[in-house]
Amino acid sequence: MEHARLNLYHQTWLIRSVINMSWLRRLALPVLLAGAALPVLADDTVPQGVTQEPLPNTYIVELEDGETTKAYLEALRAEPGVDEVTERFAYSPSLFNAVSFEVKGSLTSTPDSLRRRMEDLPELRVRHIWPVEAVPAPTYPGEVFSVDSLAPNARRAAAEAFPPHEMIQVDKLHDLGYAGNSTRIGVVDSGVDWRHPALGGCFGPGCLIEYGYDLVGENYNGDPTTLSPDEDPYEQCNGHGTLVSGVIAAQHNQLGFIGAAPGVRLGVYRTFSCAGASSTDVMIAAIIRAAEDGSDIITMSVGHHSGWAGTPLAAAMSRVSKLTGIPCVAAAGNTDGGGYGVFSAAAPSSGEGVLSIGSVQSTRTPTFGPDGVTYVPSDSGGFVSGFSLWGPTHEGHFKPQFCAPGGQILTTAPGGYTVTSGTSFAAPITAASIALLFDVRGKMSPAEVENILAITSKPVPYGGGDGNEPVAHQGAGMIQVLDAAYSTTRISTSGLSFNDTEFLVPEHEFTISNNGDAPVFYELTHLEALSAEAVWPANGYRRSEPEYLPQVSSLKIEPSSITIQPGAKAAVRVSVTPPEGVNAAGLPVYGGFVSIKATTGDEVAALSVPYLGVAAVMREHHVLAIPEQFYFWREDDPIMLALPDNVVFQLPVPVAHPDWARDPVLDADNYIPPGILPAWNFWVRSGSRTVRYEVFSIAPSCRGPKPVVYENVNGDETLGNFAGFPRHFEDMRGKWFTWTGQLADGTYAPPGKYGVRLYALRHFGDYNNPADWSVNEHPQHFGLSYVEV
């Protein structure tokens, strides 16, 4: 118990440290989307406990079709208590009918009243409201070797295949003359050093970096007045986008490597300033602009931890992919050697229809030496990278879709070259592979791309022993782009989800189509993969590094073999038996593959369909921290010691209630000194779609009004939520906040004695069903008094 308490202190201290930083300093912290540090290797990670914070009074509002953002902002500006509304980004009505803006005025002092006002403007239908969140900048602290410092022919083994290309068959398509020449790829990132000789050395029509935009400028710090967009995405102060661009399309250079699709034309969209700042509304604007500028593929290797498909960044990229038919690729995200566990795919990769890409380690590690670059065999080569985040999403969506090389990758850097690791680099090599696929097959829809890459991917073995890596970590496996380009078999699904045991899908059916010109004999067998335990069974807390389990599921596949004539198709039925002998309290996630051997004469093709399930009733999992870790403390206490029962907080008197003011009490042990706020924690153990933090009355003050109470959906009497609640799409981390006595409706709890309850909606829970909520009642009660301070 004490160990768990210390963990909570550690996490909340880190989050507290982040909250107390300036917004700009917070953004200077590294982002999530690249991986593990190695000598001479670039890397970018995010410290454990760091979270993305909302920008003050800044929102994205999505409107129903037919509404206009201009009319919405005009109506909001006319509201009492609103002094100023500054538009940040107005998005395309056909793709994402939304606008981001900052609000100033007295109404912002009651955020929940402001939110209700924004939702209920007369004759305007609002679909969603989200806060705009800060996104920390990607970094790569590894060594960069400048172009000028390298010998004209610095590669020792010029005839040696480039390992990342060799692993996914890109080299074979290069040998056939394919380079992505007909494709435009939009890169949403930090910008690019287009002056780099391996990136063409120019910007504009006829150049490799042919189009793009700088959405932020040099000095953006979150304040909309510091946005200074322009037509040129050039930057050298961060460099992450230069690394990504080189993975896609580096031209021939003295190190002897090229990008996976050197014939494409790139559009780069700069979303980070030299001050290290970006935000979710900037990134959404970049995605939409990349689509409107005619990109055939969009790839994104920046974002934030999520695990949910419903966050604005994930929802926007999903919407763009669905409405435009543009395949959208995003890095699955990284963790610094553990820390996020299952259900943690980053946004926007967590979006429906977005291709989430995990990372596999390169089979050989490039190293710089006096004779240039040499390649050394890697013991971890070919295995899923430890930093690569896990799926599925909390909604149960299949993530990641598949993996590609992202560990120990040689690429361009501002003014030179570097070796880097992360899903940041698995995503762009996948985007480049799709461009090669387009060369062979022509343009394809996002669903067609996902399908052909998934069924031709190669399952990845477990790097720590026998068996295959869990499907929740590798998705369909490592892509094989040559096989995808020339496969004549079509399968009607990219993956099978069997759900949890409460909602277990009893049987899936899919079809196999033979689009070739000869009969094909198909043999279908079960390829097992390891399971993974998502949480600690003893206490329900997430495992930052999931526990690999040897227990595997079993499949019944009918038929087990079939011959399909050219142009014909056949149905296959699959049912699952979840693994036995696992502890359901650990939320074991299982999976495997329907392995399909396709024989045409002497030719044999290996195909597979991944599947996934949870061997537990997700709705029974108590998603909140145990009651002993639910407590409050004084905001000025750096150790965060829990306070005893019946302390009295003397809070600043609300402006609207000067009559509540009382003389401060200075000499009583149970009275907290005047003006010091209570601090409260909450810890969601495995994610929740909705978290409520509600206050209930124990006894009203004899010198104040009686509190107004109502019965909530759980049947409990309550004054309502703390200001700032309910919160939505919460991930699996501890957080804390201070309280002034204000409630979610903008009113204040009157003087009196109170308790609090924390409610979190369980996985797949029904908001209106009390049984679907995890509930913790605070073991200590407290008093509220208001004083002049």
Return d(Cα 159, Cα 218) in angstroms, integer.
42
Q: Write down the catalytic residue from 189, 281, 336, 483.
A: 189
Catalytic residue flag (residue 189) = yes
Catalytic residue flag (residue 240) = yes
Catalytic residue flag (residue 553) = no
Single-letter amino acid code for the residue at 629:
Q
Return d(Cα 433, Cα 553) in angstroms, integer.
32
User: Which two three-digit tokens encode residue 257?
Assistant: 């490597």
| 3-state SS class at 320 | helix
Q: Name the DSSP class of 112.
A: H
Q: Which of 696, 699, 758 is nearest to 725 (CA)?
A: 758
User: Which two three-digit tokens encode residue 368?
Assistant: 């710089």
> Assign residue 663 a region: left if phi > 0, alpha if psi is -120 to 50, beta otherwise?
beta
- Phi and psi at 129, nearest 5°, equal -130, 130
- Phi and psi at 5, nearest 5°, equal -60, -45
| 3-state SS class at 225 | helix
Q: Write down the catalytic residue from 424, 433, 494, 774.
A: 424
> Assign residue 375 a region: left if phi > 0, alpha if psi is -120 to 50, beta otherwise?
beta
Given a contact cutoff of 8 angstroms between Cβ atoms, the answer to whether 55 and 280 are in contact is: no
- Phi and psi at 565, nearest 5°, equal -75, 160
H or E stretch at 27: helix 23-27
Which residue matches tokens 């009583």? 668
Alpha carbon distances (Å) from 394 to 342, 653, 770: 9, 41, 20
Q: Write down the catalytic residue from 165, 174, 240, 394.
A: 240
User: Which two three-digit tokens encode residue 388?
Assistant: 């690569």
* Residues 6+ away with beta carbon under 8 Å from 65: 97
User: Which two three-digit tokens encode residue 165?
Assistant: 């290309």
Residues taking part in catalysis:
189, 240, 424
